[in-house]
Amino acid sequence: MFYLRNVKIDDIKEIIEIEKESFKNPWSEKAFSCEVSKNKSGQNIFLVAVLKETNKIIGYIIGDKIVDFAAILNIAVDKNFRKKGVGFALLKQFEKEVLKSDLSSMTLEVRESNINAINLYKKAGFVIKGKREKYYENKEDALLMWKIVKTL
């Protein structure tokens, strides 16, 4: 149904459409272009999920490599493909890339109210390790989640 690969500069327009339907304050085209550049230089992990039949982008995940861990910055799936394993597949491939990069863990922040995302992250092995109070623009708290992928 879909496959995963590294992002290409030509993917940005489709990624932005998913971003706009997924978030109230979407990232800009400039922000995504910067992340693509960081990916080319090996500073981050930026993967896309692509529908086999049409080559349409149906999801993405972006995370920075920071010393010995990766911080997931953004993950989103096209609304028509949610709850079909795309997000989970992106997280698992992200984890494989973390291991290839010789990093030991992964972290992310998630809105405390985003129960679907929290459940997805827990299914992928993340655990809640803390809270960032009033983290989001609407003053909502963020849960800080981590996953250890290997012991150094």
Could you read off the pLDDT tens digit of each residue along the chain, which spans 152 residues?
999 999 999 999 999 999 999 998 999 999 999 999 999 999 999 999 999 999 999 999 999 999 999 999 999 999 999 999 999 999 999 999 999 999 999 999 999 999 999 999 999 999 999 999 999 989 999 999 999 998 76
151 C-beta neighbours (distance < 10 Å), count: 6
Tokens representing residue 49 in the block: 């999920």
The whole-angstrom separation of Cα 63 and Cα 30 is: 16
Amino acid 152: pLDDT = 60
Q: What is the mean pLDDT of the chain?
A: 96
> What CA–CA distance (Å, rounded) separates 93 from 49?
10
Lay out the sheet containing 57-66: strands in order across: 2-6, 44-51, 57-66, 69-77, 105-111, 142-148, 127-132
Model pLDDT, residue 150: 87
- In this prediction the pTM is 0.95
Q: Which CATH class is domain 2-148?
A: alpha beta
